[in-house]
Amino acid sequence: MFLLSGLAATFFFGGFESPLTWSLRRSLGEDPGFFNHAQLADGSTQTRIAIGGLMFQLACAATLIGKTMVGVFVLLWLQARPDARLHRAMEISRRVLVPLGPVLLIGAALWEWARAALWSSA
């Protein structure tokens, strides 16, 4: 259930996007990273940990986990219902969708790799 809910949260419910991540992105910049590279007076650079980037990544992870847990609770609620047809449909979907989930995840990763490798060089 966690895998199916995680895939649904990632591909259909916006993944880690939320009003919190939107506001952090507005205040920290479009791509807040883990590290800042500071130019020192002698010409060398120093790498420092960026607290804002860490907070952004934690907010993204919390949003994705929260959306996944909402999906798990909905599936648990549907499974606890006494309707026999619903339980049977969920059992069939579990047998089909659990093996299909990793295949879709690998397919999406390959698509993004191919899109970046083939079309970005043009």
Helix (H, G, I), strand (E, B) or coil at 29: coil
pLDDT one-digit tens code per residue, 62-109: 999 999 999 999 888 877 777 767 677 777 777 887 788 888 889 888
- Mean pLDDT confidence for 48-54: 81
Percent of the chain with pLDDT over 90: 10
- Domain ranges in the chain are 1-80, 83-122
Q: What is the mean pLDDT of the chain?
A: 82
- Mean pLDDT confidence for 27-37: 76
Closest CA to 75 of 99, 103, 94: 94
pLDDT at residue 31 tops 80: no
pLDDT at residue 15 tops 90: no
In the prediction, which pLDDT does 66 show?
A: 94
**9 CB-near residues (< 8 Å, 6+ apart):** 15, 64, 67, 68, 70, 71
In the prediction, which pLDDT does 121 show?
A: 59
In the prediction, which pLDDT does 120 show?
A: 67
Contact between 18 and 1 under an 8 Å Cβ cutoff? The reply is no
Q: Which residues pair with 46 in a beta bridge?
A: 38
pTM recorded for the entire structure: 0.61
